[in-house]
Amino acid sequence: MKSSIKNDPKPLRDIAYYKQRYRNRVFAKLVSFITEQAEKHRLTQKDIAERVGKDPALISRLLSAPSNLTLDTISELLLALDAEAEPPEIVQFKDRRPPNHIHPLMARVPPTDDGPKVVRSFDPRFNIDIQASAEIG
């Protein structure tokens, strides 16, 4: 008998979602640390680029939006700030704590009339994603 766990391919949507989510998480953590260090030591992107030995334009691009950063790049950026990353924490879905918010794309449930209305949009002029919701409070 065929094992469903072993043979069922994961939906492409899930694969794409988790890839992007991991990129976003790593990016957020990295930018947050670099921002903190840059503020603390009054560093510019040019300073960081010189420490890494790369073109300032590349550093600017890396820090402007989440991308598929290589482990080597992350290591180089952190080393430039006298830091390193610990190995990522791996968690099985069944062991995760229940979230207090589930992205509707993953929850796969239609929004109800009871909860706050959520509107998502993208503004190409500023290249920003906007998620807005409102409620009586």
Partner 1 sequence: MQPFNVMALFCKDIYEEEDGGYTLVRVLRNAVNLPGKAPGALPKLIIYIRINFIPTFDLGEAKARMVMPSGETIPLWTFDAGWVRNAQESAQASGSPLAGVLSRIIIGGFQPPSSGTVSVEVEIKGETYLAGALTFVPEESSG
6 vs 75, beta carbon nearer partner 1:
75
The footprint of partner 1 on residues 61-90 (CB under 8 A) is: 63-66
- In whole angstroms, the minimum distance from the beta carbon of 106 to partner 1 comes to 16
The reply to whether 52 sits near partner 1 by the rule CB under 8 A is: no
34-38 long-range CB contacts below 8 Å, 24 or more apart?
Answer: 34/63, 34/77, 34/81, 37/81, 37/83
The reply to whether 100 sits near partner 1 by the rule CB under 8 A is: yes
75 vs 133, beta carbon nearer partner 1:
133
C-beta separation of 130 from 121 below 8 A? yes
Q: Which of 102, 99, 57, 51 is nearest to 77 (CA)?
A: 51
- In whole angstroms, the minimum distance from the beta carbon of 123 to partner 1 comes to 6
**118 Cβ contact partners less than 8 Å away, ≥ 6 residues apart:** 104, 111, 131, 132, 133
Residues that bind partner 1 (CB under 8 A): 24, 27-28, 31-32, 34-35, 38-39, 42-48, 60, 63-66, 100-101, 116, 119, 123, 125-137
